[in-house]
A = this chain, B = another copy of it.
Amino acid sequence: MKLAITGKGGVGKTTLTVLLARALAKSYSVTVVDADPCMNLALALGIPQDKLKSITPLSDQQDIIHDRVGEGMIRLNPQVDDLADKVSLVHEGIRLLIMGTIVKGGGGCACPANVLLQGFLSHLMLTDKDVVILDMEAGIEHLGRSTIMGVDAALIVVEPGRRSLEVAKEIRRLADDLKIKKTFFIANKQNDPQKPLGDYFDPEDLLGVIPNNEAIQASDVQGTPLDIPAELEVVLNNLVEKLENKITNC
């Protein structure tokens, strides 16, 4: 299954990507993709700088990707496809790919990198045991670019506050334009579980509610790897179960 984590800036997309990846890695082969030019995902996964240097962003490997997209399907299993090890690394059981960033001020936008990622994703061949999670750029621009066209679901992260819900409304509208099969919501930093989606969306589409958590904040402040805090194990397992049911039945 291919999932895109989207939402307003700062709602916790990277955090949710890591937590979901760790929860899903118990039963799936998980690949996460940093599709944000700000590239914070490796930091949250706790990948050391020297290890990170061993991979090159997709945007710097245009020739390889173009060749392989031309040949047909791509697999992320290094036993059957050598591309996996060329474009990604594995850290603590999770495979990481990086889309690429803005190299120079005035050097142009992230469209070329997004086009490459979209081509790569649309040629990925996944088994029932593969999950790819895309950590998207903040906001709505990637939807103008169709980067996530073809994912099984867009998971929109919201936090308490109208601004994140207004952005979520825009994301759902644009995702509908792209004919993305399903959009669900995750309410993050939510200590009051009453109506976290307000009157904006059907509560049926809410996958889970993640309360504010000090260990998650401390991981960012101290720059230490983000793990699932013990007190959130059950919440995340339930979220995964709900997601599996929704994806299988839609």
A residues whose Cβ falls under 8 Å from a Cβ of B = 8-11, 14, 36-38, 40, 43-44, 101-102, 104-111, 137-141, 143-146, 149, 159-163, 166-167, 170, 173-178, 217, 220-223
Among B138, B145, B161, contact of A220 (Cβ-Cβ < 8 Å): B161
Whether A37 and B141, one on each chain, are in contact in the complex, defined by CB atoms closer than 8 angstroms, is yes
**Nearest-CB distance from A168 to chain B (Å)?**
10
14 contacts across the A-B interface (CB closer than 8 A): A8-B9, A9-B138, A10-B10, A38-B139, A38-B163, A40-B163, A40-B167, A43-B163, A104-B144, A106-B177, A109-B111, A111-B111, A161-B217, A162-B220
**Nearest-CB distance from A140 to chain B (Å)?**
5
Whether A162 and B43, one on each chain, are in contact in the complex, defined by CB atoms closer than 8 angstroms, is yes
CA distance A43 to B170 in the complex (A): 14
Q: Which residue of B lies closest to A180 (CB)?
A: B105
CA distance A146 to B174 in the complex (A): 26
Please list the 6 inter-chain residue pairs (A to B) with the smallest Cβ-Cβ separation, ordered nearest first: A10-B10, A9-B9, A105-B177, A9-B138, A161-B220, A105-B174
CB-defined contacts of A160 to chain B, threshold 8 Å: 217, 220-221
CB-defined contacts of A14 to chain B, threshold 8 Å: 163
**Nearest-CB distance from A5 to chain B (Å)?**
13
Q: A10-B11, A106-B178 are in contact. List 8 more A-B contacts (CB 8 A).
A: A40-B166, A104-B177, A105-B143, A105-B175, A106-B143, A108-B145, A137-B138, A162-B221
CA distance A17 to B106 in the complex (A): 24
CB-defined contacts of A166 to chain B, threshold 8 Å: 38, 40, 43
Whether A108 and B140, one on each chain, are in contact in the complex, defined by CB atoms closer than 8 angstroms, is no
Among B141, B143, B221, contact of A141 (Cβ-Cβ < 8 Å): B141
Whether A221 and B104, one on each chain, are in contact in the complex, defined by CB atoms closer than 8 angstroms, is no
Whether B221 and A110, one on each chain, are in contact in the complex, defined by CB atoms closer than 8 angstroms, is no
CB-defined contacts of A149 to chain B, threshold 8 Å: 106
